[in-house]
Structure 1
Amino acid sequence: MRGSGRLHHPPRYAALLKPSSPSFSHSSWLAGSRSDPDAYIGYVFLYFYGLERRLMLQENVPDADAVVAEVRRLLQVYGGNGSFKRYAGELLSAYQLKSAQLPEKLDLEVEENSYEIPIMLKVALGIRVRSGDAIEPDLLLAYVLADPETRVRTPARRAQTLLRQLFAEAVEKQYPNGMRVPAAGVRKLKVNYRACSGTFDLEIRPFGGDLPDITNRGEPIGGARRIFDDCTDRLDDYSRMLGRSEGLKPTLAAVAQLPLGLRVKNCEELPGQPLSQLQELSNDGALISIRQLAVLAGMEPDKIAARAKQKDLSGILAAFGYGNTADPSFSLKSAKPDELAMVFGLEREAEANLEPGDHYRPMLLSIMLGMVIAFADGLLHPLEERRLFGKIDEAPGLSRDERVRLKAELKVCAADASRVADWTKRIGDVPEDRREDLADELVAIAVADGTLHAREVSQLEKLFRLMDLDQNSLYLRLQGSVAPQNRPRDGNDDLPLVIPAGIQPPSIPVSPAPPRTPATRVDVSRLEAIRRETRSTSSVLADIFLDEAEPPIELQPAIEEIENGDAPFDGLERRYAWLLLQLIEQEAWTASDFERLVRGADLMPGAAKQALNDWSLDRFDELVLDGEDPVIVNASLFSETTPQSPSLTVSVEGMSA
């Protein structure tokens, strides 16, 4: 502050007469532009006293408009001083009342918890009461804020715009026809203006003393204050979340704490448009890591590994109508930060954290065990996926959102087969009275693509053991599992059993094959007819069990070594090579002997016959097996004139399917 001395507040003119007074500095300030914001505020008050007397004590002031304009200018420069701001505002209001020059629109910006209700606020309220008009929400809120008894908490200060919106909605809901106060019995407004200088008082009677004053009554201020407090409470969570963000800048996590009607609108100006990104992720079915999802929501990505934080993340997304597959309330375990998840749309925005219904977890376990079977062959076939989707659609007791969530879980697992491995550990959670039904469904999934893979059979056997179900019941189910709509539409009514490379019985001895004779031209149409015949439905999985009463077939001893040459079984997996080596020892086999021999190789009759004939057609353009009972073996394809093949020694023992 400038000047050689200081005036006491409130400053007095008499102080200027003292020898040590800073009169020169005050005079310099008056002579200047009176716009220095660093000037001593006492100089401003002394100048203001003169303007106050001119407006309030003189009648018909010719330059009144200029004086009013000067007071407003001083407010802009020195309004940072609370005392000056209050006194200058009261002067302007009092002059408007005295001169009956009310503005078309009253200024409703008030200081909270004023010492008393501002004059113009009283006037605005009185005008509405006298005319019978409703008190609009903004005016009512200004009244509440200015009342000395109102407690204004941090959320109301931190989110003023949102508070105004909530307050207006609440008032309109509680008073659909507007808040009106009857004028009868209300005292009249009297304004007693006490000068800032303390040198005079002036009584003003607005509108001839006929303006009601409701500021001394218990209502409407009591009801309005209750609405205000309720709106402040509804902003508590938003205010706390906003306080954690850098620079008090709103994030998706903060906006999610707002009441439902304010969320979407207040997301429009968030940096990066996170709500639009969520919508794109949901529409595209795209995958995103949990860490990236946390960044999108405005959370700290380094802390998202904690289960509680993942639950918070899910709550934030649900507040805008989105779910995610990493929600720990629905998942088997917490996700790792870099683990991928899928975002999907919910039926509506959620007001609280989502929780699964009674039917969700059993169905999730059933679906995931189905995925274990579907992935046993290393590939989720579209028909298998369709079967699982259909199971979800038909499941009773699930909500619309739970069905969407299950399908999203399935898609995420389809992108990463390793996610389903842990579900076999939960098979003990399947109730005993549900295990037979689950077994039926697992078999149906295994054959949904029209192909029964050996790994699928092996995985089914494992699950049946874990559920304490009879292994024989698995084979009975497999026998009747292939429905016509699941079979290939190429004339092949059999269900092929596919044995992948790497799953082969070790040490199968293969005898030397005769030299290959020149290929004979065949009737292609007749060959196709024979081929279809060998794939008849009756041999799909017929009669799984062996008749214990029939004597076992004695297998030929393994040939320890075959000399080098062209391999007659080239391209044939070892278990089939071993089986074919046994079959070519006879020209014909009865159906029962053929079945026992095939099962001795841990294969199924229909599928084995098809596999051998397919290989033979590709290699020799002829069938190696023909007929049903007996089964004729075309051993001439392996005559002794065939150059000898390299030795192939395999042990029959320990052969696995």
Structure 2
Amino acid sequence: MGKKKSSNTSSGVVILLIGAVALIAAIPKEVWIGAALLAGVGIAVYLYSKSKSYRSPAVDERPSALESRPATRPEVAPQRVAAHTIARFSEVDEPVSTGAGQGRVSAFRIPAAPKGFGQASWVPPGQSVDVGGVTIPGGMVYVGTKLQTPAGANDPCLIDPSKSVARQGDYTERQMGYWPSYSEISGGARRAYLNWLAGGRKGPEADIGYVFLFFYGLERRAIIDATKDEAARADWPAIAAELRRLLGIYGDKSGSFRGYAAALLDWVALAEHPVRLYEKPVLSFPKTYELPLYVRLALGQAAVDGAPVPVHLALAWARLEPNIYLRTPATRCAAEFEQLFAAKYAEAFGAGMVMPRNRTKLKLVYRPASAGFRGYDEFKLTFRETPDVTVLTAPVKKLQEVVEAATKPLEPFSRLVGKSPEAKDSLEALLQLPAPLWPDRAKKTLQDLKTSMGDGMVAMPFQDLLSSLGAKTAFTKDKTISLARTLESANVGLEPDVLAGAKAPKPEDKVVLFALPPAEPQSRVNGPYLAAALTLQLASAVASADGDFGTKEMSHLRETVLSWNHLTPSQTRRLLAHLRLLMQAPASLTSLKKKLEPLNLSIKETIAAFMATVAQSDGVVAPAEVKMLEKAYKALGVDAKKVFSDVHAVAAGVTPTAATVAKVEESGFKLDPTRVAALQRDTEKVSALLANIFTEAQERGEETAAESVEEEPGTEPTESTEVAKGLLGLDEAHSALARMMLSRPQWSREELLDVAADLDLMLDGALEHINDAAFDTHDMALFEGDDPVTVNAEIVEKVEA
């Protein structure tokens, strides 16, 4: 019985279990979920109550680093998990109560959020910040998780530490779109950007997108923040310096960046509307498709004040004016060009060019690069009634003429430096420059020479002259020609006249330096001068025949030269210097014969008679002079027997006999002084005759040369003069209008009418012509609308690039 009861009991248990399972299975799932939640809450309440009633003596004796408590009372350590969670999101490090137990209160400070989280902060110039394990030196960036724009998104420039950063990144690779934003680029691009910043923002191979991403922050600080924050305005000088540094690295790489950076430089330079800007030094700006507004304002203020444009402003204008092309000599030899520009500008305008006051008014509408500016009102600067004088074309043409006048003299020096940059400071290079551009040491040497000669002349061995100027090597003919040219630019003449084809002197030969009248054009190849020089050469050959080119003969020839009124002052001085050389080295009849061959016999006989006069200028005809006259007559192709008849006729006015000829051959004879004086009056007639001959010969030579102009072999071609191409291939006036339009995103019709009037253009026809050119060049319009006229932002990018 007992066993059966037990069996029944077991069966009952099984039946109950099966029923319980069935009952449980019948309960809906939602009931189970609710029960589980209630159980969880109960367990949490139980554990919480147990923790409040529990105290650990060991913890009381070792306080937590996160606690802030009195030193005399032990406290309960907070839970580490809770502290970590608070530290993640708290921004204020303030004491917070966490409850009490058994009459005691435990308090601790909630740690601040990790550095960089929360509202963005501007890192000032010169400071460093750590982001993603990278230290960024130099500051000038925004760091944080929140820097909203009017559109609601974070500013593209914001460096958000909560964004993921890859382990590696290469800033030389293109990894972002046209409008980059730090929050939206990839983790690899963020790492690349942080690496570029950490490297000092100077990697020349960096993709320009990273440069723009950094530029967006400068743009925001300089314009948006500065409108309401004085500290931001105080950052303008540092921002300007950084922009110039970046332009030096990336300006040539991206025309777009160059244009935007130049516009921001304009803003920080002009936002305070400085007065009389034309009196201040011009800041550094890159050359873009439009003249910097800083320069335009300075010129406009000068026009309003009626003040001349000073040379420093004119030079900056010439260098930055898009319609002026600076040739290679002006850019390669910038310092020398600057000095010559100043001299030529003063020659042309004295104190400076006076600008007209035109109708177009100056205005700056800032065109931001960053998408973070979307939603803000237009940022603009106006300058009351200050005109934009650069819309005019006439002043630019005048400036271009000065630029070319300053560039042309630098061509030889520029070519030499282009071939051998290391020779820039050599004497060879020095001689390619006008004397006013010489270094101080060479200028002093030249001044000492000018002081020693005064208004006269000084003779010295050629080597002495070279040594005084610091020559280290032998001088070739080309170098000697360069020296003569340079000396002449300093109003110092050199004989022998190598610039007119004379043989270059040897180091031991004598040369004569003489003062040239300032501001007088040098004319040494015209007929009167050539005739006078030949006359002196013939006369010196005869006068020195007796071995004694004496004082009387020298005095006679000097007076003869001074009596030739048909010569210029510089020609007279050069002839006197030439005569000084002829005293020491008289001309050779053999060399003169070639010059005299083209003359007909009657002219040759006239010249021969003049030589007879010169031979008797001292009142005595020596036998050696008679023999020399015979040689001269033969060189001229005149019968040598006429020497005696001409000399006797000069002396006595009678036909010579055999006895008188023999007497002349033996001992010579003395002349009647009155007869000599009469003969001397014929000198100028002979010179005038020769002048006509040489003038005709010169004209024939020039005609022949013009028929066959050919570059000499081995010479370097002259650097051609180029002009800046008009914008969109337009002519000067339409190009100026197009450039002006590109300076703002929008124009009123009234404003454009003023610009067109300044350029003498009909507005509607000009606008149509400009848009046609834009379609031909870039397949898009430059502007749209009638009033206002809106400039196409896309074509601005293409023009800048």
Shorter-normalised TM-score: what interval?
0.5 to 0.7
Match status 1:180 vs 2:356:
yes
**Which digits, 9 at most, give the CA deviation of each residue in 1:223-271, with x for residues without a partner?**
122012212322343232122233384899989999xxxx554346474
Corresponding residue for 2:224?
A: 57
Q: CA deviation at 1:198?
A: 5.6
Distance 1:462 1:167 in 2: 53
Distance 1:475 1:36 in 2: 93
Is contact 1:317-1:323 (8 Å) kept? Answer: yes
**Which digits, 9 at most, give the CA deviation of each residue in 1:265-292, with x for residues without a partner?**
4346474756437636856621444997
Of the candidates 555, 561, 565, which is equivalent to residue 392 of structure 1?
A: 561
Aligned pairs (5 A) from 1:512-551: 546=659
Distance 2:309 2:666 in 1: 88
Corresponding residue for 1:431?
A: 604
> How many residues align structurally?
472
Residues 316 and 68 (structure 1), Cα distance of their counterparts in 2 relative to 1, 3 Å cut: closer
Is contact 1:250-1:270 (8 Å) kept? Answer: no
Unaligned runs of 5+ in 1: 482-542, 548-595, 608-657
Residues 233 and 65 (structure 1), Cα distance of their counterparts in 2 relative to 1, 3 Å cut: closer
Distance 1:113 1:76 in 2: 12
Is contact 2:364-2:380 (8 Å) kept? Answer: yes
**Which digits, 9 at most, give the CA deviation of each residue in 1:114-146, with x for residues without a partner?**
234434345445555666666656546645654
Q: Percent identity?
A: 20
Q: CA RMSD in A?
A: 5.2
Residues 242 and 474 (structure 1), Cα distance of their counterparts in 2 relative to 1, 3 Å cut: closer
Residues 363 and 156 (structure 1), Cα distance of their counterparts in 2 relative to 1, 3 Å cut: closer
Corresponding residue for 2:793?
A: none
Corresponding residue for 1:279?
A: 450
Corresponding residue for 1:108?
A: 282
Which letter does structure 1 place at the counterpart of 2:219?
Answer: E
Match status 1:443 vs 2:619:
no
Match status 1:14 vs 2:183:
yes
Distance 1:605 1:453 in 2: 5
Q: Could you tell me the TM-score, scaled by structure 1's length? A: 0.56
Distance 2:552 2:493 in 1: 27
Distance 2:665 2:305 in 1: 98
Q: Secondary structure at the match of 1:343?
A: strand
Residues 377 and 229 (structure 1), Cα distance of their counterparts in 2 relative to 1, 3 Å cut: same
Residues 274 and 206 (structure 1), Cα distance of their counterparts in 2 relative to 1, 3 Å cut: same
Q: Secondary structure at the match of 2:183?
A: helix
Match status 1:320 vs 2:485:
no
Of the candidates 512, 517, 534, which is equivalent to residue 342 of structure 1?
A: 512
Of the candidates 393, 405, 409, which is equivalent to residue 238 of structure 1?
A: 409
Corresponding residue for 2:239?
A: 71
**Which digits, 9 at most, give the CA deviation of each residue in 1:509-534, with x for residues without a partner?**
xxxxxxxxxxxxxxxxxxxxxxxxxx
Which letter does structure 1 place at the counterpart of 2:583?
Answer: A
Q: CA deviation at 1:5?
A: 2.6
Corresponding residue for 1:204?
A: 379
Q: CA deviation at 1:181?
A: 0.6
Is contact 1:5-1:22 (8 Å) kept? Answer: no
Residues 457 and 112 (structure 1), Cα distance of their counterparts in 2 relative to 1, 3 Å cut: same
Residues 43 and 454 (structure 1), Cα distance of their counterparts in 2 relative to 1, 3 Å cut: same
Aligned pairs (5 A) from 1:61-210: 61-75=229-243, 77-80=245-248, 81-82=250-251, 87-94=260-267, 108-109=282-283, 111=285, 113-125=287-299, 127-128=301-302, 138-139=312-313, 142=316, 145-158=319-332, 159=334, 160-162=337-339, 164-165=341-342, 168-169=345-346, 172=349, 178-182=354-358, 185-187=359-361, 189-197=363-371, 199-200=373-374, 202-206=377-381, 210=384
Q: Secondary structure at the match of 2:378?
A: strand
Distance 1:167 1:603 in 2: 65
Match status 1:411 vs 2:586:
no
Corresponding residue for 1:377?
A: 546
Is contact 2:430-2:438 (8 Å) kept? Answer: yes
Match status 1:473 vs 2:645:
yes
Q: Could you tell me the TM-score, scaled by structure 2's length? A: 0.48
Distance 2:218 2:595 in 1: 86
**Which digits, 9 at most, give the CA deviation of each residue in 1:333-390, with x for residues without a partner?**
64565554323222335545522443x4444444334433433333333333333333
**Which digits, 9 at most, give the CA deviation of each residue in 1:190-214, with x for residues without a partner?**
523424456436523435x735452
Q: Secondary structure at the match of 2:363?
A: coil
Residues 146 and 327 (structure 1), Cα distance of their counterparts in 2 relative to 1, 3 Å cut: closer
Unaligned runs of 5+ in 2: 1-135, 137-167, 671-801
Distance 1:312 1:142 in 2: 31
Q: CA deviation at 1:473?
A: 2.9
Is contact 1:126-1:213 (8 Å) kept? Answer: yes
Q: CA deviation at 1:72?
A: 3.6
Corresponding residue for 2:437?
A: 266
Match status 1:214 vs 2:381:
no
Distance 1:240 1:455 in 2: 52
Residues 90 and 103 (structure 1), Cα distance of their counterparts in 2 relative to 1, 3 Å cut: farther
Which letter does structure 1 place at the counterpart of 2:645?
Answer: S
Which letter does structure 1 place at the counterpart of 2:517?
Answer: E
Which letter does structure 2 place at the counterpart of 1:378?
Answer: G
**Which digits, 9 at most, give the CA deviation of each residue in 1:378-432, with x for residues without a partner?**
3333333333333333456444444433333332233235756644787775533
Q: Secondary structure at the match of 2:616?
A: helix
Is contact 1:113-1:146 (8 Å) kept? Answer: yes
Distance 1:421 1:400 in 2: 30
